[in-house]
Amino acid sequence: MSSPEPVTAPGIHDLTPYAQASAPKTQEQMKAVGQAMRFRFGADVLYALAGIEILGVHIFDPFGLITAWADDMADRANDAMSTALGAQDSANYANALLGSALQSNVVDGVSVSDLFNRAAATDLGANWTRVSGGDWGGSGAWGPSGAGLLVWTKSGGLTRIHYDRYNTELTGDYQVVQFLLSTLPEAPVLLDGPPSNMLRGRINSAQNSYVYAKVLNDSCEIGCYNAGTQYVFTTLTSMGNKPGQVWKLQCGTDDGTGSPDPLEFVVYRNDVEVWRGDDGGHSLYGASYLGAGMATTASYRFFGTDQWVPGRVDVWAAADYTAA
């Protein structure tokens, strides 16, 4: 089932369509190959260290911890190479939508978008309202890079979350929210927490009630918050997420036959439906829940020396929209 069609905005990032479609993802592929080579080298060194024996005893790895570390780095090398090999297929679709905005199909409906094509900053600017949090006082900035992307600037090694709500509200309960993730949230190791990029619809003014689709490195969690209490509808795992994919959250379905369902939700990845379901009666909607936005999490490393960072966002958009 197809999701709402985008309307391409001209002049995005002052690049030609060809440059949009090729340059960013070529760089992303090169970065992924470099990461794969570094992880593979690190894994080989650790395997060699773990294999040193004296009288049959692995003197550097008696408990297998170094081997486990090496296995993890080898897995990350494989993941990075898969990202490099698959990036262009995803980029062909994603960059065709670069700069796209959703067009409302509702009479007097509202469509909003942000291309982030402005000077570097530590927040999203005057069109957004932010609420921030994080475990143990974590810090870090989320804002435009100065080159048409939203990027995370690391600060410390603790978790930090920024909840951003677009100031212009939509007009109804049936909404679609989307973003283009130019990179994936990083994949943490061992005891570290996962970073994420979250689409949010039906946000109230306090930003403690909303429906969400939270994209992680290889999974997606869909749920809601009701006055600060979280309810998880489902978690999709082993998804094979790739850089450059467009994610959409549809709140409410209506096929126009007189049977609308405001409590059915749909998540799309590159216009392909990946989940459809209801909220179990937990989410809120109505005149107080017309906001749309996102939330972004950088997560802690076990030793608190650095952060795992979320993906970079190229475009965000939302609209009043009815669809089956």
Over range 105-134, report the average pLDDT: 93
Q: What is the pLDDT of residues 25-52, one digit of tens each?
A: 455 556 667 777 787 777 788 778 777 7
Q: 32-46, 111-125, 217-231, 240-254: which range is least confident on average?
A: 32-46
Final residue belonging to a domain, choices 35, 59, 94: 94
The angle subtended at Cα 298 by Cα 142 and Cα 128, nearest 5°, is 30
In this structure, are 49 and 120 located in the same domain?
no
Q: How many domains does the chain have?
A: 2
Residue 303: give the domain boundaries: 105-320
Q: What is the pLDDT of residues 163-191, one digit of tens each?
A: 999 999 999 999 999 999 999 999 988 78
Q: What confidence score (pLDDT) does residue 252 get?
A: 96
The mean predicted confidence, pLDDT, of the chain is 82
Final residue belonging to a domain, choices 28, 61, 94: 94
In this structure, are 246 and 120 located in the same domain?
yes
In this structure, are 71 and 112 located in the same domain?
no
Query: pLDDT confidence of 257, banded at 50, 70, 90?
Result: confident
Q: What confidence score (pLDDT) does residue 304 get?
A: 64
Say if 274 falls within a structural domain.
Answer: yes
Is the pTM higher than 0.95? The answer reads: no
Over range 201-214, report the average pLDDT: 98
In this structure, are 56 and 109 located in the same domain?
no
- Length of the chain equals 324
Q: 123-127, 138-142, 271-275: which range is least confident on average?
A: 138-142
Final residue belonging to a domain, choices 28, 62, 94: 94
In this structure, are 138 and 276 located in the same domain?
yes
In this structure, are 132 and 174 located in the same domain?
yes
Say if 173 falls within a structural domain.
Answer: yes
In this structure, are 35 and 149 located in the same domain?
no
Over range 113-141, report the average pLDDT: 90
pLDDT at 91 over 60: no
Residue labelled with tokens 């979350």: 161
Say if 6 falls within a structural domain.
Answer: no
